[in-house]
Structure 1
Amino acid sequence: MMYGWIIGLVLIVILFAAVRRSGVFKRRPDSTVNNSSTSTPLETLKNRYAKGEIDDEEFEKRKKELEKAG
């Protein structure tokens, strides 16, 4: 009984290691990431604009080009 707290601590560490190893806390892939094979060119353009990769002028220019082509 004198060393009961040590046994309890060891069991907690083992439990923590088992849960961590099982993958419960693994980061899942972001579901908002676009798969280039399923997104349309306009969706890709909108996402690039939303991320700040292109400015307003570039967005409008490319949007008009896409609308002409399709």
Structure 2
Amino acid sequence: MMYWDGSGWVWMALMPVLWIALIGLVVWAVVRLTQHSAGRHDGMGSWLPQKETPEEILDRRFASGEIDADTYSEARKRLAAHRPRPQ
């Protein structure tokens, strides 16, 4: 004959809490893994969008047809002239 000490209710109460925690952990992991990877980490668990350099903005605008080749080359020259020189 088996004796039961009556502690089964603890497991019955604890099991839904464990499942909720497990599902929450899986959702958190999926969100973290699917976040946009272009950016930088702010040290507090969040990603900050990476800022485009002026050259990248100019390249994007030229590639999309917003500016023509003459404007592009002139802007490139101006950017190069104002770029700080390495020491």
- Band of TM-score, shorter chain: 0.3 to 0.5
**Higher Rg of the two aligned structures:** 2
Q: Which has the higher contact order (CA 8 A, sep 6+)?
A: 1
Q: What TM-score comes out, normalization by structure 1 length?
A: 0.47
Which structure is higher in strand share?
2
